[in-house]
Amino acid sequence: MDTALKSLPKVKGRKRRIWTRSQRKTADFYLFVSPWILGFLLLIVVPLIVAILASLTNYDGLSLNTIRWVGFSNYERALTNIDVDVKFSFTRTVMWGLLNLPTWLAISFGMALILNQNLKARGLFRTIYYIPSIVPLVAAMTAWKVMLDKNVGWLNGFLSLFWPGTAIGWLSEHALTGMTIVAVWTGLGTAMVIFLAGLQNIPDELVEAARIDGANGLQIFRFITLPLMTPVIFLQLIMGLIGVFQQLNLPLVLTQVGISRGAVPPRQIYLFMYHVYRQMFVSNRWGYGIALILIMFVVVSILTFIVFWTEKYWVYSDTQGEGD
Amino acid sequence: MNYVLRTRLQKRVGNFFSYLIMILVAITVLVPFAGLLLTSIKQDSEYIVWPIILFPEIPQWINYVNAFLLIPLSRVAVRTAVLGIVVSILVTFSSSLVGFAFARYKVKGSRFLFFLVVSLMIIPVIVILIPQFIIYSYLHLTNSYWPWIFNAIAGNSFFIFLFRQFFLSFPKELEDAAEVDGASPFRIYWQIFLPNAKPVIAAVMVFAFQGVWSDYFMPLILLNDDKTLLSVKLASGYVNPQGFSLTTISMAANVMYIIPLVILFFLAQKHIIRGVVTSGLKG
């Protein structure tokens, strides 16, 4: 090793003679990560500063000539119920999360549990469940339009076999349910594959030992499987939570593909980010829209911190247990 | 004996219900695809009738031809594919380089920077995208593909993480030997690490291509109709002169829109699933 170091200064063009090995390593490291650091500064830090500044102006997205400082009035407008749709769309987003997150997690987890058994053809089923995850949202919405349409959709057609004349507006009055169906369909594969891998990491000896001690299936699930899976559930919950609050594509694509073009989405699925989108791209209130985005960012951060804080109460950590 | 028989019976019954649920869920998952396919070969008049006609009287394969004639579908598809390929090459290159640095260098600040990389995964993308859009429009870079290129060159937290996890498992002796032989750090990355990371490269390239091919929001806000990508074009292009949707033709276009992704998935299935799992278990 030492001889290798000493031979380095002789290499032609090396002017790093005075550098120690660790300095050289540091320089190499920062050279390697420089694309990312540049990107971080120019594509994330600068935009965030621009966002904070823009939220204090009346920027209309068209011209910088008419721009002027308006102080905190955008935030005032957002938080004092002048714009009633803020509270409304926020409530809709919370409803969306309350319906979507547990449904998605429960179904994905359930299917992972079933696939984790020693059954034939489980590879085939895993592939089938994963396929919707690779379908772009525009195509998914197009396909689900055939299923969920109020008048000629297959779902209402199926329900009409039992309750003739069913005409549920899955894409209109009951869009919250309809969009949950679409979101669970597209999200099932990813979460299920992750849960399945987590389940396969649970040591067989643990389950065997419990079985020998006389534990039944439910007890094994309650006292071994579930606790050992909490770190995986925790991570999916965090990512899901962030997804819920930035959900914009679903209502946006729904109005483009599912119902008539350019329409406002049904009130049930008038989500916060969609309201923000309209403020900017329809009403040209960019300063205000960005203030709303930053408020959402703060809310999501607080919620994430709360979930992180609850971690110690319910998430299994192998530093305190007997884990491998 | 009695006990053995009973557990065996329990297992049979359990398996039966497992298969029942698996099959029912599989049908639910697949039916929308069937709906899309069948509707794509119907006439619009066959689509809007009640009670539903599952199968068209005469399959309208012409819908697949019309999908190309009504909008410049092939041109938009080529454009989207080229951008997808360029982005996936660039992002694979930058992310693997950064991931290599995080896996193999423990220097001052490297831990903090990696913490930053991981925390970026939980920042809502939209918080960054909208102000980025303002900057791009100020620099007259909207209606160009530069925003995609810049984002690709900067690398992606999720991909950096995947490469780092993979490179961590490489034996230290590998690079020590190369270093003794006088290989530069970049050569160690380029000739030893990268060629041995094919599974991650495959996964990352597919994810990146899929991202460009599927994304709706970025082309919607950044590109005009003459430069837009498939997702936006498919969502808005198929209308007749009166402004009504040409539903079944757009379904045909959407079938063709999905096919490349399905092919990619089956080519790289193992690597894709491993990529998803790595990010989901340790992220």
Domain ranges of chain B: 2-40, 71-282
Query: Which residues of chain A neighbour B248 with C-beta distances below 8 Å?
Result: none
Query: Which residues of chain B neighbour A122 with C-beta distances below 8 Å?
Result: 22
Q: How far is CA B246 from the centre of its chain?
A: 27
Range of the domain at A168: 75-314
- pLDDT of A1: 45
pLDDT, tens digit (0-9, with 9 covering 90-100), for A73-120: 999 998 988 888 999 999 999 999 999 999 999 999 999 999 998 888
Chain A from 240 to 269: CB within 8 A of any B CB:
242, 245-246, 248-249, 252-253, 256-257, 260-261
Mutation pick from B47, B96, B123 vs chain A, by most beta carbons of A within 10 Å, is: B123
Per the CB < 8 Å rule, is B134 touching A54?
yes
CATH number for the domain spanning A110: value is 1.10.3720.10
Closest chain B C-alpha to A182 CA, distance in angstroms: 10
The residue ranges of chain B whose pLDDT is under 50 are 283
Does A226 map to a domain?
Answer: yes
B71-282: in CATH 3.40.190.290: no
> What mean pLDDT, rounded, does chain A reach?
87
- pLDDT of A323: 39
pLDDT at residue A321 is higher than 50: no
- How many structural domains does chain A have? 1
pLDDT, tens digit (0-9, with 9 covering 90-100), for A259-289: 665 577 888 899 999 999 999 988 899 999 9
pLDDT at residue A27 is higher than 50: yes
- pLDDT of A290: 94
Does A62 map to a domain?
Answer: no
Mutation pick from A44, A103, A109, A142 vs chain B, by most beta carbons of B within 10 Å, is: A142
- pLDDT of B34: 95
Chain A from 134 to 173: CB within 8 A of any B CB:
134-140, 142-147, 151-152, 154, 157, 160
pTM: 0.89
- pLDDT of A46: 95
pLDDT, tens digit (0-9, with 9 covering 90-100), for A136-180: 999 999 999 999 988 889 999 999 999 888 889 898 889 999 999
Does A61 map to a domain?
Answer: no
- pLDDT of A319: 57
- pLDDT of A313: 86
Question: Residue B26: which of A128, A137, A252 has the nearest Cβ?
Answer: A128
pLDDT, tens digit (0-9, with 9 covering 90-100), for A176-224: 999 999 999 999 999 999 999 999 888 888 888 888 888 888 888 888 8
Q: Output the CA–CA distances (angstroms, integers) from residue B112 to A41, A145, B102, B109, B116, in the order listed.
A: 15, 47, 11, 5, 6
Question: Residue A194: which of B176, B235, B281 has the nearest Cβ?
Answer: B281
Closest chain B C-alpha to A81 CA, distance in angstroms: 22
> A147 and A155 in contact (C-beta within 8 Å)?
yes
Give the pLDDT band of residue A61 (cuts 50, 70, 90): confident
Does A52 map to a domain?
Answer: no
